[in-house]
């Protein structure tokens, strides 16, 4: 699947970057290389672009460009779960 | 000695530059604010520091990357300071590896080392130093920590530099060596070999077709043998593998980070429902502070200072010395009032710049660009164009320059064409004067309508241009969202002082001379005699030539035509000219000579017509083509005349 189909709060592993340079090249230079974990954090208020987290920093990508990034091993974002469950724990006491 | 400062956008490069050189230049949080080549002197060490644009890689993808790369390869600085953002070392080190290949003495500075300590991250700087083979200095650019140590290490490194050798994964290293053996050693062979391996078009240009065939052969073998079967991907992957190795061995992040402030803030600021109201609220707050609250208060204070405290005593002194009437008229009615009418707006302009720079330094501006991208895409631009557009409300000149942060020529050009429609700060005096006389009660509404009309015109022109002259495909929108940061007050005040200085210089030179010229032209006839009746003067003649052309727009008076002409020099001059033309009291003058409808259309015309000389010459520089400059001139004139005509005439019909 592609990064475009990834829902906010989910993480995937980059498999390949398709498309032509220079757009592809820019994505690669920004650290989006095969094997790296990538997650979608948010969608902009008007639905596009998306806030992406990769290699510990955040960047904004348009859905059009997110289609170029193929991902695999998709799973729900652990970090987010942890944070929410922590909140729940705190509330319980 | 020339030392280049290089690093990713937003890593604090400009802040370090300022703290080392003490120069006052713009500091922002927007990726790539530094586009101009800036040089500063570090007097203590006898070093010229060159501030290169912020870049992510030395592959020439954007204009900034081309500027930085060309500078290093052609001018060969004696040393490089590579500044890294300590909170985001992985991506920053990717650039460092490419810089190491250049073979120029390098020192790396890890910025925000104080923040890292607070976060509980541990970085083994000595280990990194040993691994990379170059000095690694933890610094804090904002607080000025370790900047002396950095400079000393740089000077030491320059004398005792040993080429560091980075080992890439075996397959990549093997093919890099293969290429290296095929090219001549010119000091940059370590840099060019990997570029040639990935078939970098810029580098290939320097080689014969026979050589290129050999490189191609090696590259395709590399593709077959490498894991990813793609030269660009494989090479970037090899670099990131080295980076990951460094990160694994020497960077130990706090395993249980507390949710960062940026994440918490973004939950609210970028919330699906709250984002837009917050955005509009902030814009409203800025406009309110500038134009009604604090701004108006300070403006009144300034007026009091100029009129009561300065003009009256000055006028008394001049009169008591028995100078001729015309000298008194020139000094007080011409020069003093011309300048003071403009100076009164200094507080408002400074407040606007203050607010905009806070937004930018804090990192909110990038979030705004993120939110607005979807809308700007519709008129053929990207979210990045939002910054120049917003800055356009301050001053068109820096705004047009800010358009350089865009990667693609087409986007840049379109932004430059549309930015002047954002009503600049220098037009405020005009609005303030006219709304003060005609629309005292609905001042806010009228002002808002003008700003809105400017934006609407930009949108319409954007749509028109997108479907006609700018049909080619759009650039990808890849933008980093920097973490929120406390704006450094020092840099903000540097910036404000810079603006105030610029404004005062303008008042002292252009507006001063304009006031003299206009006063003389108004009081001297074609035969060069002093006259009492203004309509016979040189200016009166010019004005009466323009008047019939402007009549359908609702302000067919001599004075209006002259004021608009002087506005081509500087928009502030419109008010100072009117002041001189109406004998020192513009409010009374325009109340007599304009109808409310005419006043409104005069403001609309001022909003849309060709910007001042300084902005226009910047546009000429950025558009880089006579055709586009002419086009932009016509676009603005047609838009201004057309829309004003439409508004005035339909207004007349409605009133009837």
Supply the ipTM of this predicted assembly.
Answer: 0.85
Backbone angles phi, psi at B525, to 5 degrees: -85, 175
Decide if B28 contacts B372 (C-beta within 8 A). Answer: no
Query: Would you state the torsion angle of the CA atoms of residues B480, B481, B482, B484, taken in this order, to the nearest 10 degrees?
Result: 180
Least confident of B4-13, B90-99, B610-619: B610-619
B136, B464, B567 from B458: Cα distances, Å: 48, 10, 21
Q: What is the pLDDT of residue B580?
A: 80
CA nearest neighbour of A11 among A62, A64, A65, A56: A56
Question: What pLDDT is recorded for position B31?
Answer: 42
Whether residues B61 and A26 touch (CB distance < 8 A) is answered with yes
Instruction: Verify whether the Cβ–Cβ distance B236 to A33 is below 8 Å.
Output: yes
B64 touches chain A (CB under 8 A): no
Whether B4 and B102 have beta carbons less than 8 Å apart is answered as: no
Instruction: Please name the member of B270, B407, B478 whose beta carbon is closest to the beta carbon of A51.
Output: B270
- Residue pairs between chains A and B whose CB atoms are closer than 8 Å: 109
> What letter would DSSP give residue B514?
H
Q: Which residue of B has its CA nearest to A62?
A: B477
Average confidence (pLDDT) over B3-25? 81
B585 near B341, Cβ under 8 Å? no
Residue whose structure tokens are 């000695």: B1
Residue-wise pLDDT for B55-110, tens only, equals 899 887 776 787 788 888 888 899 999 999 998 899 999 999 999 999 899 999 99
Please report the DSSP string for B306-358 in residue order.
Answer: IIIIIIHHHHHHHHHTT--HHHHIIIIIIIIHHHHHHHTTHHHHHHHHHHHHH
Choose the weakest-confidence range: B183-192, B232-241, B465-474, B574-583.
B465-474
Would you say residue B624 has pLDDT above 80? no
Closest CA to B132 of B82, B171, B177, B198: B82
The confidence score (pLDDT) of residue B138 equals 95
- For the question of whether the overall pTM of this predicted structure is more than 0.90, the answer is no
What is the rounded distance in angstroms from the CA atom of residue B70 to the CA atom of residue B54?
14
Yes or no, beta carbons of B233 and A22 under 8 Å apart: no
Instruction: Calculate mean pLDDT across residues B31-57.
Output: 76
- Inter-residue long-range contacts of B259-262, CB under 8 Å, 24+ positions, other chains counted: B259/A83, B260/B483, B261/B483, B261/B484, B262/A58, B262/B363, B262/B483, B262/B484
> How does pLDDT run across B485-504, given as a tens digit for each residue?
877 777 778 777 877 777 77
Domain B170-252 listed as CATH 1.10.287: yes
Residue B3 has pLDDT above 90, yes or no: yes
Residue among A31, A35, A51 whose CB faces B481 most closely: A51
What are the residue boundaries of the structural domains of chain B, listed by start?
Answer: 2-159, 170-252
Nearest neighbour of B373 by CB, restricted to A25, A36, A44:
A44
pLDDT in tens, B187-215: 888 999 999 998 888 888 889 999 999 99
Q: Distance (Å) from the C-alpha of residue B603 to the closest C-alpha of chain A?
A: 33
pLDDT band at B472 (very low <50, low <70, confident <90, very high): low
- Both structure tokens of B339: 């300048």
More confident call, B472 vs B318: B318
- Compute the distance between CA of residue B179 and CA of residue B326 in angstroms, rounded to an integer: 80
The Cα–Cα gap between B50 and B67 comes to 12
Q: What percent of chain B has pLDDT over 70?
A: 93
Rounded to the nearest angstrom, the minimum Cα separation between A33 and chain B is 6
CB distance A55–B91 less than 8 Å?
yes
* Interface contact A92, partner B, CB < 8 A: no
Task: Look at A28 and B476 and tell me if their CB atoms are within 8 Å.
Answer: no
Mean pLDDT estimate for chain B: 84
| pLDDT at residue B335 in the model | 81
Tell me how far apart the alpha carbons of residues B204 and B186 are, in angstroms, rounded to a whole number: 16
Confidence of residue B36 (pLDDT cuts 50, 70, 90): low
Question: Looking up tokens 């005509």, which residue turns up?
Answer: B645
How many CB atoms neighbour CB B649 within 10 A?
15
**Out of A31, A47, A49, whose CB is closest to B370?**
A49
Percentage of the residues of chain B whose pLDDT score is greater than 90: 30
Closest CA–CA distance from residue B272 to any residue of chain A (Å): 5
Q: b/e string for A55-65 if b means 16 or more Cβ within 10 A?
A: bebbbbbbbeb
pLDDT in tens, B528-553: 777 766 667 787 788 888 889 999 99
CATH 2.30.30.90 is right for the domain spanning A3-92:
yes
Options 3.30.429.10, 3.60.15.10, 3.20.20.70, 3.40.50.300; CATH for B2-159 is: 3.40.50.300
Question: How many CB atoms sit inside 10 A of residue B581's CB?
Answer: 26
pLDDT given for residue B581 in this prediction:
80
Q: Which residues contact A60 (CB under 8 A, 6 or more apart)?
A: A44, A49, A50, A51, A52, B369, B370, B373, B383, B477, B478, B479, B480, B481
Residue ranges covered by each domain of chain A = 3-92
Beta bridge partners of A39: A11, A53
Distance of CA B573 to the CA centre of its chain: 24
**Chain B hits for A26, Cβ within 8 Å:** 56, 61, 407, 476, 478
Residue A56 to residue B88, Cβ atoms within 8 A: yes
CA distance A53 to chain B (A): 10
pLDDT at B532: 66
Sign of CA pseudo-dihedral A19, A21, A27, A33: positive
Q: Which residue has the higher pLDDT, B558 or B263?
A: B558
Residue A70 burial (CB count, 10 A): 15
Phi, psi values for residue B345, rounded to 5°? -95, 0
Query: For residue A46, which of B458, B386, B388 has the smallest C-alpha distance?
Result: B386
CA atoms within 13 A on the CB side of B209: 0
Dist. CA B403–CA B412, nearest whole Å: 6
Chain A segment 46-75 residues within 8 A of B by beta carbon are 46-49, 51, 55-62, 64-65
Which of A59, A63, A77, A81 should one mutate to test binding to chain B, selecting the residue with the greatest count of B CBs within 10 A? A59
pLDDT at B389: 86
What does DSSP say about strands B38-42 and B79-85: parallel, antiparallel, or unpaired?
A: unpaired
Give A54's pLDDT tier (boundaries 50, 70, 90). Answer: very high
In which band, very low, low, confident or very high, does the pLDDT at B168 lie, cut at 50, 70 and 90?
very high
DSSP assignment of B96-140 equals: HHHHHTT-S-EEEEEE-HHHHHHHT-EE-HHHHHHHHTS-EEE-B
pLDDT at A92: 42
Which token pair is B557?
């008076």
Contact predicate B67/B37, CB 8 Å: yes
CA pair distance B106, B111, nearest whole angstrom: 16
């Amino acid at each position: 699947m592609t990064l475009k189909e990834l829902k906010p709060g989910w993480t995937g592993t980059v498999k390949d970057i398709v498309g032509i340079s220079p757009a592809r090249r820019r994505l690669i230079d920004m650290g989006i290389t095969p094997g790296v974990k990538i997650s979608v954090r948010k969608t902009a208020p008007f639905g596009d672009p998306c806030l992406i987290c990769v290699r510990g920093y955040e960047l904004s990508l348009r859905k059009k460009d997110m289609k170029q990034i193929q991902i695999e091993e998709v799973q729900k974002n652990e970090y987010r779960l942890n944070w929410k469950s922590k909140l729940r724990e705190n509330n319980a006491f | 000695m020339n030392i280049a400062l290089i690093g990713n956008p937003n890593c604090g490069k400009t802040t370090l530059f300022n703290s080392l050189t003490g120069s006052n230049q713009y500091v922002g949080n927007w990726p790539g604010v530094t586009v101009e080549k800036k040089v500063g002197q570090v007097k203590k060490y006898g070093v010229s520091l060159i501030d290169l644009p912020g870049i992510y890689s030395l592959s020439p993808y954007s204009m900034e990357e081309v500027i930085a790369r060309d500078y290093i390869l052609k001018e060969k600085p004696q040393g490089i300071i590579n500044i890294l953002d300590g909170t985001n070392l992985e991506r920053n080190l990717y650039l460092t590896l490419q810089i190491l290949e250049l073979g120029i003495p390098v020192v790396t500075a890890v910025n925000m080392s104080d923040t890292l300590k607070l976060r509980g991250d541990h970085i083994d700087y000595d280990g990194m130093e040993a691994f990379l083979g170059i000095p690694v200095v933890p610094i804090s650019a904002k607080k000025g920590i370790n900047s002396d140590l950095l400079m000393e290490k740089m000077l030491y490194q320059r004398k005792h530099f040993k080429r560091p050798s980075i080992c890439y994964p075996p397959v990549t290293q093997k093919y890099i060596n293969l290429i290296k053996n095929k090219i001549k050693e010119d000091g940059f062979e370590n840099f060019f070999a990997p570029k040639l391996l990935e078939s970098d078009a810029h580098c290939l240009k320097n080689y014969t077709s026979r050589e290129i065939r050999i490189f191609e052969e090696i590259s395709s073998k590399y593709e077959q043998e490498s894991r990813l079967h793609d030269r660009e991907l494989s090479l970037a992957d090899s670099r990131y593998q080295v980076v990951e190795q460094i990160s694994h061995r020497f960077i130990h992040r706090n395993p249980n980070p507390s949710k960062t402030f940026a994440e918490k803030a973004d939950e609210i600021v970028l919330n699906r429902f709250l984002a837009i109201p917050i955005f509009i609220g902030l814009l409203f707050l800025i406009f309110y502070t500038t134009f009604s609250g604090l701004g108006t208060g300070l403006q009144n204070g300034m007026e009091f200072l100029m009129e009561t405290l300065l003009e009256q005593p000055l006028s008394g002194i001049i009169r008591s010395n028995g100078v001729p009437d015309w000298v008194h008229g020139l000094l007080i009615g011409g020069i003093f009032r011309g300048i003071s009418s403009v100076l009164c707006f200094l507080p408002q302009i400074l407040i606007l710049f203050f607010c905009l720079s806070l937004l930018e330094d804090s990192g909110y501006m990038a979030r705004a660009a993120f939110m607005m991208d979807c809308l700007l895409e519709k008129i053929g631009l990207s979210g990045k164009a939002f910054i120049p557009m917003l800055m356009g409300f301050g001053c068109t000149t820096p705004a047009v320059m800010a358009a350089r942060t865009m990667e693609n020529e087409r986007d840049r050009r379109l932004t430059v064409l549309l930015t002047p429609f954002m009503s600049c700060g220098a037009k405020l005096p005009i609005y303030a004067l006219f709304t003060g006389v005609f629309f005292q009660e609905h001042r806010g509404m009228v002002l808002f309508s003008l700003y809105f009309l400017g934006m609407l015109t930009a949108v319409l022109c954007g749509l028109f241009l997108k479907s006609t002259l700018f049909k080619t495909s759009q650039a990808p929108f890849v933008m980093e969202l920097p973490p929120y940061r406390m704006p450094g007050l020092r840099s903000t005040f540097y910036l404000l002082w810079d603006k105030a200085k610029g404004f005062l210089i303008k008042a002292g030179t252009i507006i001063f001379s304009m006031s003299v010229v206009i006063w003389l032209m108004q009081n001297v006839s074609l035969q060069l005699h002093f006259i009492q009746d203004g309509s016979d003067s040189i200016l009166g003649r010019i004005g009466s030539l323009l008047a019939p052309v402007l009549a359908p727009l609702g302000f067919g008076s001599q004075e209006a035509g002259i004021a608009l002409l002087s506005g081509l020099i500087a928009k502030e001059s419109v008010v100072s000219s009117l002041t001189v033309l109406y004998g020192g009291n513009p409010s009374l003058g325009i109340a007599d000579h304009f109808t409310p409808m005419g006043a409104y259309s005069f403001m609309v015309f001022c909003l849309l017509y060709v910007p001042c000389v300084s902005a226009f010459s910047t546009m000429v520089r950025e558009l880089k083509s006579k055709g586009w400059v002419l086009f932009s001139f016509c676009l603005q004139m047609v838009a201004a005349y057309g829309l004003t005509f439409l508004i005035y005439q339909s207004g007349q019909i409605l009133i009837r």
